[in-house]
Structure 1
Amino acid sequence: MEVESATTTLTMDSANISQDDDLLLSLKPSMDLPPPPVNRLKGGSELERRESTDSNFSLRPSYKQKFKAPVAKQIIQNILHQRLNDALYDKDQAPGWAREISQEIKQKLLELDLNQYKYIVNVTIMENRSAGTRIQCSCAWDRDTDSVAHETFKNDTIVCTIMAFGVYFY
């Protein structure tokens, strides 16, 4: 798809002023003329013209650039097993662990280099007392581009639940 853009500067000493330009200049002598329309697209479907007006920006990510929950889930599992596999629950250390784990997951997600995605990582660490827990989340998002990866880790003393959201930033 080709994008054509043009900028024209009109000066008073230009020899090629058209009659329309003369009329505009006579009606608004003290005002500058606005530049002509830019980004005139040639060819392509209506959808392509609507979705891409600049080569660096698109309204939707390509399939390869979408947040994939299974990939994020694998990242979460690897970090959880590295950090918490042999850990014992300590109420004083749990908030620090949660912060460190969330930052590490976010950093790994950023390394996926998915343009225009923002990440939200929620880590909850609790003591495992064999009690039931329910964590629920509700979001308003675009089903086509946004997704969530979640994982629950348990050992003898710790229960850790992680939700990593990938939200496409329009």
Structure 2
Amino acid sequence: MTEVEEPAPPPSNTYIIRPNFQHKFRPVIVKECIHTVLQEQLAEKQYQADEVMEWTKKISDDIKGRLKDMGYDRYKFIVQVVIGEQRGEGVKMGCRCFWDSDTDNYAQDIFMNDSLFCVAAAFGVFYY
């Protein structure tokens, strides 16, 4: 006899419009998480154009997974990872966000070695 899995119940509405202080997105802690992932994933790597797409996906998935494990309830995460080759040229990056500055925030970190640079940013947006 086969077992039939029942669908998960829909999330209940808690009417919480702000996270409590302990559950707010904390950029300092998130930056440490990003830094750890970048060191683990890129410490021994040399730039290879054909593998960069795979690296960015793996790094962003790893960061997003660790953020979910941190217990930021009702936050949605956006993780952006950019990897480029070190050629001695400058790079400028920017972003703009329309959000609630009381609950939403971001953290970023930069990794560089002799052959590549990586900028990773994680945005935490509270889901009302």
TM-score by length of 1: 0.67
Q: For 1:133-153, what per-residue CA distance to the aligned partner results, in whole angstroms no more than 9, with x for missing partners?
A: 001000000000000001111
- Which residue of 36, 40, 56 maps to 1:78? 36
Q: How far off its partner does 1:114 sit?
A: 1.2
1:101 and 2:59 aligned: yes
Any gaps of 5 or more consecutive residues in structure 2? 1-11
Q: For 1:57-100, what per-residue CA distance to the aligned partner results, in whole angstroms no more than 9, with x for missing partners?
A: 31000010101001110000001011101100000000100000
Bigger radius of gyration, 1 or 2?
1
| Partner in structure 1 of residue 3 of structure 2 | none
Aligned to 1:167, what secondary structure does the other structure show?
A: strand
Any gaps of 5 or more consecutive residues in structure 1? 1-53
**Which runs of 4 or more aligned residues in structure 1 lie more than 3 Å from their structure 2 counterparts after TM superposition?**
54-57
- Which residue of 38, 45, 62 maps to 1:87? 45
Q: 1:101 to 1:71 in 2, by over 3 A?
A: same
| Partner in structure 2 of residue 139 of structure 1 | 97
Separation of aligned partners in 2, 1:108 and 1:150 = 15
Count of residue correspondences: 117
| Partner in structure 2 of residue 57 of structure 1 | 15
Higher relative CO (Cα under 8 Å, sequence separation at least 6) belongs to 2
Q: Give aligned-pair identity as a percent.
A: 36
TM-score by length of 2: 0.88
